[in-house]
Amino acid sequence: MKYAIYFRTSKRDQHPEMQKLKLIEYANRQGFTYELFEEKESTRKTRPIKEEVLKKLRKGEFEGVLIYKLDRWARSLPELILEVKELIDKGIAFISINDSIDLTTATGRLYFHILSAFAEFERDLIRERTLDGL
């Protein structure tokens, strides 16, 4: 299987080497072929390397994506849920090694559905509070 390995740090002066090494070790243990994608600088709204990875995943250039932690992929739960759901629906594997989440397994998908339920609950609470405030 060919995977996109995506990793990033929050600040330019941080070093992603530990993430990179752990991801490569995992991929090698699993027998994956892979391509590395490092987000060197990102803001809350722009992550060009992640967008490139998403585009390649959508085109079918990779069978999955491997990340270190969920917060390295998405900056919010709704963002995470929407993007991961899209990938799952397309049959693309999504693995977060530090969170022990492999969405190619039944347990991983259950965990994802629980996260989705909490995200929906959070959106509903925000909507209710907003309506109460109006």
> Which residues are tagged catalytic?
10
List all residues 6 or more positions away from 51 whose beta carbon is below 8 Å from its beta carbon: none
List all residues 6 or more positions away from 85 whose beta carbon is below 8 Å from its beta carbon: 112, 116
- Alpha-carbon distance of 71 to 5, in angstroms, equals 15
Closest to 115 in 3D by CA, of 66, 86, 80? 80
Tokens (6 digits) for 122: 């959070």
